[in-house]
């Protein structure tokens, strides 16, 4: 079901009108511009480009701010619609080398929606227990349920990328595997994605790509800032030493796994603002395509209004009145009246007596002595 034309207003009858719609500075649908082709080659990919965006960074940040309103509403509708039996969900898979900007997408894009409707999972290297099972064993439980946006920070694609990069680098790896096993993984991933799509899931696969120079600068920033040391791993340098092998591995895996039902979108990552803008727009347009609608009330709305209105009459409200801030209340007033106030005259007399007594008992000190 496609989204309806944006009118800028929402009526009770048409719950699918939304506030802003796509920015006029998009010269095309980023999904069409960023999708990986059958001949995709990362070695010729321009990493500081801004495909489809015809304006400045400043305008991009403004556009993101506005589009976040649409994103938030559509995500809430997706979640609400599932309560009435809708099976739709979205899975965002984020891949990219270290410092590519995966965490920034989670914070600045996914952070725009209600976290109650988001299922985030960050995948690390598999544990011994996980390696004792099929490679998708640890993945399947984290696929998003209906109504949710699932986010994978790295994913089962590491089970293809790591052994493939090791092959290109002519290196031994504990995660290395033979060609037959690798082909089986390709097949199993496709079958899992096909099953998920048939169940109502939209699978969005995003690869964030930074240049060698940009990655070096971001890694150096982590080393120069003590508050960023926790994010650094010497393994990042090992990966960097095999840069060409990883470029070839990503190219091969993306070519073999970008399908009509679950395509890869390869996004230039040197400009963080553009990567975030593009991912946001891809997500929002995907949700617009789902076109989730608010569930209809399963009760008598007018009857509920009448019943509530009856409890809001002045007579009923006065019978349930509670003390408000700024209102001293009768109890405080009574407590104040129970304590007799001292007259100023009486206070002055007591003060004089006290002073006289004190001056009588205290030793006499000449003023000149302090001079």
pLDDT band at 342, cuts 50/70/90? Answer: low
**Which CATH number belongs to the domain containing residue 128 in this structure?**
3.40.50.300
User: What pLDDT, on a 0 to 100 scale, did the predictor assign at position 331?
Assistant: 52
Return the closest-CA partner of residue 102 out of 158, 173, 62. 158
- Which tens digits make up the pLDDT trace of 103-136? 999 999 999 999 999 999 999 999 999 999 999 9
- Which tens digits make up the pLDDT trace of 198-223? 999 999 999 999 999 999 999 999 99
| 168 within some domain | yes
- As for how many domains the chain has, the answer is 1
Model pTM greater than 0.85? no
pLDDT band at 13, cuts 50/70/90? Answer: very low
Question: In this structure, are residues 84 and 72 in contact, taking their beta carbons and an 8 Å threshold?
Answer: no
| 129 within some domain | yes
Q: Domain limits at 124? A: 30-290
| 358 within some domain | no
Instruction: Round to whole Å and give the CA distance between 133 and 124.
Output: 16
- Which tens digits make up the pLDDT trace of 233-278? 999 999 999 999 999 999 999 999 999 999 999 999 999 999 999 9
> What is the b/e burial string over 243-258, where b = at least 16 CB atoms within 10 angstroms of the residue's CB?
eebbbbbbbbbbbbbb
| 340 within some domain | no
pLDDT at residue 83 tops 70? yes
Kindly list the strands in the beta sheet with 89-95, ordered across the sheet, starting from the edge strand earlier in the chain. Answer: 118-122, 149-153, 89-95, 201-209, 264-268
Q: Which DSSP letter does residue 26 get?
A: B
Which residues have C-beta within 8 Å of that of residue 364, sequence separation ≥ 6? none
User: What pLDDT, on a 0 to 100 scale, did the predictor assign at position 322?
Assistant: 83
Q: What residues does 204 pair with on adjacent strands?
A: 92
| 309 within some domain | no
| 148 within some domain | yes
Instruction: Round to whole Å and give the CA distance between 29 and 21.
Output: 12
| 360 within some domain | no
Mean pLDDT taken over the chain: 87
| 170 within some domain | yes
């Amino acid at each position: 079901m496609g989204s309806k034309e944006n009118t800028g207003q929402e009526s009770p009858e048409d719950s699918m009108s939304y506030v802003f719609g796509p920015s006029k500075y998009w010269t095309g649908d980023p999904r069409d511009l960023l999708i990986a082709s059958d001949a995709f080659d990362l070695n010729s990919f321009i990493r500081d480009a801004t495909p489809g965006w015809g304006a400045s960074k400043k305008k991009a940040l403004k556009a993101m701010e506005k589009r976040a309103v649409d994103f938030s509403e559509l995500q809430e509708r997706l979640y609400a619609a599932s309560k009435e039996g809708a099976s739709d969900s979205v899975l965002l898979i984020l891949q990219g080398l270290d410092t590519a900007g995966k965490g920034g997408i989670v914070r600045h894009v996914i952070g725009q929606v209600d976290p109650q409707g988001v299922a985030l999972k960050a995948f690390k290297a598999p544990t011994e227990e996980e390696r004792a099972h099929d490679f998708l064993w640890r993945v399947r439980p984290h696929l998003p349920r209906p109504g949710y946006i699932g986010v994978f920070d790295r994913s089962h694609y590491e089970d293809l990328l790591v052994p493939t990069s090791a092959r290109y680098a002519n290196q031994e790896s504990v995660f290395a595997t033979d060609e037959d096993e690798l082909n089986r993984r390709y097949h199993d991933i496709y079958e899992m994605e096909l099953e998920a799509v048939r169940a109502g899931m939209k699978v969005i696969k995003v690869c964030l790509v930074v240049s060698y120079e940009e990655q070096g600068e971001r890694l150096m920033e982590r080393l120069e800032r003590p508050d960023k040391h926790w994010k650094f791993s010497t393994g990042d340098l090992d990966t960097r030493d095999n840069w060409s092998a990883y470029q070839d591995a990503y190219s091969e895996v993306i070519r073999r796994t970008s399908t009509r039902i679950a395509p890869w979108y390869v996004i230039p990552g040197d400009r963080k603002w553009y990567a975030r803008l593009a991912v946001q727009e891809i997500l929002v347009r995907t949700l617009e395509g789902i076109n989730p609608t608010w569930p209809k009330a399963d009760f008598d709305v007018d009857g509920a209004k009448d019943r509530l209105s009856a409890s809001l009459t002045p007579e009923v409200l006065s019978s349930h009145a509670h003390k408000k801030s700024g209102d001293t209340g009768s109890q405080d007033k009574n407590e104040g009246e129970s304590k007799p106030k001292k007259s100023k005259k009486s206070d002055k007399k007591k003060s004089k007596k006290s002073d006289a007594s004190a001056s009588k008992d205290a030793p006499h000190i000449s003023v000149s002595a302090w001079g």
